[in-house]
């Protein structure tokens, strides 16, 4: 007769040994082991986080570069249609000879600016259809024209003009500049606009002024950029530009630059000295001068604190210069529609010398003018 006593005995011995093993080697971690694991995970995160952030910024910079390329290509398509490049702004006034702010009268006697002109070539035909060149952007003449026409367009947000790295782009603010100011006495009711990130290059200047289109600049026509003002008293010598007039070469001439809003301005008013795609020209065009050559205007503390000029001049410089929140430099779109990343340490020259009546705008300035005869390539 068979019994299972042998098998049961073996099972009992195995169970006893297993129970002893289980009791002497409990599952789980001690507090020290947990702390070590947490520390290792923290170190790994600390090592990986900068790499992740760098990858994200690289993606944002690429998006920004692609948008700037679209602006340059849109200008090419405009040239194909009209055999000229769009103007930075077009003033409706003719025969003017005085007044330092004439280039900004395009709000009271408005024709167009580059941001509006390019809309049909940026797949924004419906938005462009809102534009009426016969009235100013604020449209206070509600008697003869539909209320809000043009003003509604100027108040629209245009993502194509916004760089993803610019944290203030797309922010609705009231420009604190020129004819949009509540204290200008120009008869405007100030209105909010969406901040943008890109400026078209109007030219270079050898003195302390910030606009190629101002008085005296017609004596330096070779320093004009592609997107200067047309038809004002100060720039009647310069009409719409074309590829033929860019004698320095389209691959050596800068068409668009980045100008992101400052992240740490000295006072609240300077926050709104930003870039606005449908505002006055000095809010969306760029003139390089001896006082606006820095490419770090986005860092207001750096721009302001490293200068030795007066408070007013330092603020003017930081509010008119180029700058972007990319590490180490800014994007610049050339007239040939290529986009280059330019180091913020590029040579910007020494400006105007009253002793020798000469000027030095560096490599950056040489790439601004369309026919200064000093061809230079961006490094």
pLDDT in tens, 331-350: 999 999 999 999 988 888 77
DSSP, res 292: S
Q: How high is the pLDDT of residue 71?
A: 96
Q: How high is the pLDDT of residue 194?
A: 87
Q: How high is the pLDDT of residue 122?
A: 94
φ, ψ dihedrals at 288, nearest 5°: -85, 125
Q: How high is the pLDDT of residue 291?
A: 60
In this structure, of 1-5, 69-73, 216-220, the range with the lowest mean pLDDT score is: 1-5
pLDDT, tens digit, for every residue of 170-209?
A: 888 877 664 444 444 445 566 788 889 999 998 887 765 5
In this structure, of 15-19, 247-251, 275-279, 315-319, the range with the lowest mean pLDDT score is: 15-19
Is the pLDDT at 17 greater than 80? The verdict is no
DSSP, res 379: -
Q: How high is the pLDDT of residue 263?
A: 72
Q: What is the rounded CA–CA span in Å between residue 303 and residue 307? A: 7
Using DSSP's 3-state secondary structure scheme, residue 371 falls into coil
The tally of CA atoms less than 13 A away on the side-chain side of residue 210 is 21
Domain chopping of the chain, boundaries: 69-366
User: Nearest CA to 378 among 334, 324, 336, 337?
Assistant: 334
* Band (111; pLDDT cuts 50, 70, 90): low
pLDDT, tens digit, for every residue of 49-96?
A: 777 777 788 888 899 999 999 999 999 999 999 999 998 887 654 444
Average pLDDT, integer, range 6-33 = 59
Residues in CB range of 256: below 8 A, 6 or more apart: 68, 71, 72, 198, 199, 200, 201, 332, 333
Average pLDDT, integer, range 316-320 = 74
Q: How high is the pLDDT of residue 152?
A: 81
Q: How high is the pLDDT of residue 357?
A: 66
The tally of CA atoms less than 13 A away on the side-chain side of residue 215 is 7
Q: What global pTM score does this model have?
A: 0.78
Is the pLDDT at 8 greater than 50? The verdict is yes
Q: What is the mean pLDDT of the chain?
A: 75
* Band (1; pLDDT cuts 50, 70, 90): very low
Is the pLDDT at 262 greater than 60? The verdict is yes
More confident residue, 311 or 331: 331
Average pLDDT, integer, range 284-303 = 73
Q: How high is the pLDDT of residue 79?
A: 94
Alpha helices by DSSP H, 83-121: 114-117
User: Nearest CA to 214 among 226, 201, 222, 203?
Assistant: 203
Q: How high is the pLDDT of residue 211?
A: 65
Is the pLDDT at 123 greater than 60? The verdict is yes
pLDDT, tens digit, for every residue of 125-166?
A: 999 888 877 776 655 554 555 555 677 888 889 999 999 998
């Amino acid at each position: 007769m068979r019994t299972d006593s042998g098998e049961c005995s073996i099972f009992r011995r195995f169970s006893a040994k297993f129970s002893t093993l289980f009791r002497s080697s409990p599952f789980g971690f001690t507090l020290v082991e947990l702390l070590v694991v947490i520390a290792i995970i923290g170190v790994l995160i600390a090592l990986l986080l900068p790499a992740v952030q760098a990858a994200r910024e690289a993606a944002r910079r690429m998006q920004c570069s692609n948008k700037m390329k679209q602006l340059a290509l849109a200008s090419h398509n405009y040239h194909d249609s009209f055999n000229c490049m769009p103007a930075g702004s077009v003033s409706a006034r003719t025969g003017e000879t005085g007044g330092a702010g004439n280039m900004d009268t395009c709000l009271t006697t408005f024709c167009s600016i580059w941001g509006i002109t390019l809309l049909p070539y940026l797949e924004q035909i419906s938005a462009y259809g809102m534009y009426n060149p016969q009235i100013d952007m604020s449209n206070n003449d509600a008697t003869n024209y539909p209320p809000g026409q043009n003003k509604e367009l100027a108040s629209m947000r245009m993502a194509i003009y916004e760089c993803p790295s610019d944290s203030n782009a797309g922010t609705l603010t009231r420009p604190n500049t020129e004819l949009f100011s509540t204290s200008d006495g120009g008869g405007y009711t100030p209105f909010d606009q969406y901040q943008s990130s890109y400026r078209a290059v109007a030219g270079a200047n050898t003195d302390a002024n910030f606009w190629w289109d101002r008085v005296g600049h017609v004596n330096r026509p070779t320093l004009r950029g592609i997107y200067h003002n047309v038809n004002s008293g100060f720039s009647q010598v310069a009409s719409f530009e074309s590829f033929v007039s860019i004698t320095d070469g389209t691959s050596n001439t800068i068409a668009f630059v980045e100008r992101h809003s400052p992240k740490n301005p000295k006072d609240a008013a300077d926050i709104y000295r930003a870039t606005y795609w449908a505002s006055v020209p000095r809010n969306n065009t760029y003139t390089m001068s001896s006082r606006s050559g820095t490419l770090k205007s986005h860092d207001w503390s750096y721009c302001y604190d490293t200068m030795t000029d007066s408070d007013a001049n330092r603020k003017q410089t930081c509010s008119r210069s180029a700058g972007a929140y990319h590490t180490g430099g800014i994007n610049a779109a050339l007239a040939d529609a290529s986009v280059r990343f330019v180091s913020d340490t590029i040579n910007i020259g020494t400006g105007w010398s009253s002793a020798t009546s000469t000027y030095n705008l560096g490599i950056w300035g040489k790439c601004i003018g369309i026919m200064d005869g000093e061809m230079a390539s961006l490094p």
